[in-house]
Chain A
């Protein structure tokens, strides 16, 4: 599987159709590469470079510049917790510490079962609904430890179900 797979053809075409310059499609295509490989892997970088007519080094520098492209393999559920000032004033630091404690990992690590990667991030634009987190780019707001545990349980069950039905070949949670 790769970005040359026909399931991506329409979306690649749509990305190029937006801009007068192929280079502009590098960001949407990096998101596609991340969807395909789970991170912006070297294969993904090379394919995006090929598609946009860029050097892989240029694409890698762009991938490295932005926080939403992961430069290393990550868990099926990529959790971003905002601990910026506005969230911190409403208990985000404690919330984040509890999340790490419940998952038994440190900031930036992935759980041993490969399910969860957790990072703290800068402001996500949800300051009035703190504490909050983003899971695979979807917002979950007004959280506390109980709600967070319920979410983790839900995602664990979802992943288990997904393993059963797909034989583990595809990624859950996207």
Chain B
């Protein structure tokens, strides 16, 4: 499969970040077209395209828009540019190299739900690019695409950026809204959901969409839902930006139709594994998605929402971290667990305490003090986190170590066996632990 640039058009048209260049290449034509359509027609096109949320959850975008009640006077679009999943750097390239297309997509979404303002919530570390984005917004406003009575439509909409300040959790949509309101970035109890009155920004119905999701929208409006559906697979339409990092020769973003296999992506596009070493494991969705062993069956799996489920993992944000044979997977799990421990917002006890305990246990294991009973201990902590929290961080946080034990048992048990061989270990403890060990495979 060849790279196909619907989003990363800066690869083919280097100065497309400039308004005049963007306009020369059909920029803001989709907005003009959308403004001639009824808002409900715009939603129908996006629904029919089967565009799914690119932030990780994969929820159908048009359906999300259709949840917004039409009779509410104040509505908002919030662009989730808080890209913080470990291994993810796609929205950054979009905003750096093709910012107007993202703005245009956000404006079309705003027209579709009749929003009065768009807020772009960018992670604080994207300091330089967000300040540059402010300039792009100014240019677009001067050209009449943002502000009062946009292109004579009678509809007015403002666009603002908001800088976060370093918190992974603010990528979770309800925590993002809290943060934008000037509160601690912690998830809300739902319902009400953001689309409902009382659940969105300042209590108003709000659509929250990822940068990459919205950047698809102008193309869909211009070329139609059918053309978009022809790319990818029936359930996973369109292209996707795959962020490839870790042990590959050419790390970077690759925009390819959904349905490309791991093998093509990692070996044909990203140049394979450096130094002739063997590939060992893949984290397909940063720290959040279950790690998979790089077997032939896995490598030949198409990267789609549906096929990732078949190999017991998720497509998520498609932040693909490649790991070679030199790496101890328990070390990987320990490192990712530190990420979740640091990023747990502290609101829900199971996640706040669970991530802390998992980190402590893994530190001890990595320090050579692993015990056979740790498997049961880890399973127990994980059981007490999964499904017990307001957001998915609590569900994700135990994934790294649980799936390492399941998929790379030798990498885990070698730390345990080392402990067993120590003369100080008590026989009674060993016996008990052997009984507990099979639980790891759950």
Contact = CB atoms under 8 A, between A and B. Distances in A.
Q: Do A and B bind?
A: yes
Interface of A: 18-21, 23-28, 30-31, 52, 54, 61-62, 65-69, 80, 84-86, 88-90, 121-130, 134, 137-139
Contact of A85 (B182, B336, B342): B336
21 contacts: A18-B162, A20-B202, A21-B182, A24-B181, A24-B182, A62-B182, A65-B345, A66-B124, A66-B164, A68-B125, A68-B165, A80-B125, A85-B332, A86-B321, A89-B247, A89-B327, A122-B86, A123-B86, A125-B126, A127-B89, A128-B244
B339 A26 contact: no
Nearest to A24: B182
Contacts, number: 134
B321 A89 contact: yes
Contact of A66 (B167, B319, B336): B167
Contact of A21 (B202, B283, B286): B202
Contacts of A138: 127-128
Classify the interface of chain A: helix, strand, loop or mixed: mixed
Contacts of B247: 89
Contacts of A137: 124-125, 127-128
A121 B127 contact: no
Contacts of B126: 125
A67 B84 CA distance: 13
A49 B233 CA distance: 52
Q: What are the 5 closest A-B residue pairs judged by CB atoms, nearest first?
A: A66-B165, A67-B166, A23-B182, A127-B245, A128-B251
Contacts of B85: 123
Contacts of A68: 124-125, 165-166
Contacts of A26: 182
A92 to B, nearest CB: 10
Interface residues of B, number: 52
Given A85-B287, A85-B335, A125-B125, A21 B162 contact: no
Contacts of A61: 184
Q: Which of B182, B245, B247 has the most CB of A within 10 A?
A: B182
Nearest to B134: A14
Nearest to A62: B184
Contacts of A67: 165-167
Given A62-B183, A125-B92, A128-B243, A85 B86 contact: yes
A84 B183 CA distance: 27
A66 B126 CA distance: 14
A138 B425 CA distance: 51
B343 interface: yes
A18 B179 CA distance: 14
Contacts of B128: 137-139
Contacts of A18: 160, 162
B293 interface: no
B123 interface: yes
A61 B186 CA distance: 12
A128 B339 contact: no
B27 interface: no
Contacts of B332: 85
B440 interface: no
B182 A25 contact: yes
A128 B245 CA distance: 5
Nearest to B74: A20
